[in-house]
Chain A
């Protein structure tokens, strides 16, 4: 799940913030809205992130937050990478 460039990028960003909105994630990753939307959906279905759709004033706003499960998965992934590289 995390071995994809965009999904890993999103997870790395969300790890350092409380929550981030869709616009910020798009700016940071440079991904297209469509592609980012698909990847966020996959991460949500895996239980790695929570997505809240709300409004900021009259503008719709999509907020993403990493879950406990997402943090654990990320830690395991980094550990696996480390052990692979150290071999």
Chain B
């Protein structure tokens, strides 16, 4: 029987049937492992960046700093996309597989969906955070299913639950403002919404990202 652990150089030689099956399995696994090393990196980049900015914005609201600090939300796309290009771009010699293409397409669609989400938030005067969470939940859940990593899938489910929690927050906030006319209360809820948003990215992206990286490094 061929010992595939010691196999380093393939030659032009005939294999037995069992060796052939072992070789096929080994090569498919090797390629998969090599292509999934650091697969958690995008989740870590977007997770840390979004959670960090959300917590910063929470500090802005809590401390009553200038309104202009709200523009710091734009740091997420402005830093996120260049960071992705710099750190997650594959080496030119590394091949793309069909799953990579599918995952990229899902996140491209999610990124584009942020534009109508922004328009809805602007025109209907609602918080954009639940809309963003909903879009991210779809992207995370579908990606998790495609790459067959249950940590990411659970992250997506967590985001979906978070969307519901944030929608409830929205209702409470509107109720407080419109019916009870308590602005202090609405501000408190707004702060809470940012904390939920940060928490969702910690649990739905940062933790799964670290788990995936640990797993893929261990298997590499």
> Which of A's residues lie within 8 Å of B, judged by CB?
2-9, 12-13, 15-21, 23-24, 27-32, 35, 38-39, 56, 61, 77-78, 81-82, 84-85
CA gap between A85 and B1 in the complex, in Å: 14
A8 touches B93 (CB 8 A): no
* Closest B residue to A78 using CB positions: B24
Q: Tell me which residues across on chain A come within 8 A of B12, comparing CB atoms.
A: 4-7, 35, 38-39
Q: A31-B10, A85-B21 are in contact. Are A9 and B97 (CB under 8 A)?
A: no
* Closest A residue to B94 using CB positions: A24
Q: Tell me which residues across on chain A come within 8 A of B97, comparing CB atoms.
A: 16-18
A5 touches B98 (CB 8 A): no
Cβ-neighbour of B9 out of A8, A30, A38 (below 8 A): A30
Question: What bracket does the count of chain B residues touching chain A fall in?
Answer: 20 to 34
CB pairs A–B below 8 angstroms (9 shown) = A4-B12, A8-B20, A17-B31, A17-B35, A18-B97, A31-B9, A77-B20, A78-B24, A84-B17
* Closest A residue to B15 using CB positions: A5
A5 touches B30 (CB 8 A): no
CA gap between A6 and B15 in the complex, in Å: 10
- Determine the main DSSP class of A at the interface with B: helix
B89 at interface by CB-CB < 8 Å: no
Cβ-neighbour of A8 out of B7, B23, B95 (below 8 A): B23
> Which of B's residues lie within 8 Å of A, judged by CB?
7-15, 17-21, 23-24, 27-28, 30-32, 34-35, 92-98, 101
Identify which of A4, A19, A38 gathers the most chain B CB atoms within 10 Å of its CB: A4
Q: Tell me which residues across on chain B come within 8 A of A35, comparing CB atoms.
A: 11-12
* Closest B residue to A32 using CB positions: B9
Other than A6-B10, A13-B28, give 11 A-B pairs with Cβ distance below 8 A. A2-B20, A5-B12, A7-B12, A8-B20, A9-B23, A15-B28, A18-B101, A24-B93, A29-B9, A56-B92, A81-B21
CA gap between A84 and B21 in the complex, in Å: 11
B201 to chain A, nearest CB (A): 31
CA gap between A9 and B31 in the complex, in Å: 11
Q: Tell me which residues across on chain A come within 8 A of B24, comparing CB atoms.
A: 8, 12, 78
A85 touches B11 (CB 8 A): no
A31 to chain B, nearest CB (A): 5
Please list the 5 inter-chain residue pairs (A to B) with the smallest Cβ-Cβ separation, ordered nearest first. A12-B27, A17-B95, A20-B95, A30-B9, A6-B10
A18 touches B10 (CB 8 A): no
Cβ-neighbour of B96 out of A13, A18, A30 (below 8 A): A18
Q: A12-B28, A28-B27, A30-B8 are in contact. Are A18 and B14 (CB under 8 A)?
A: no
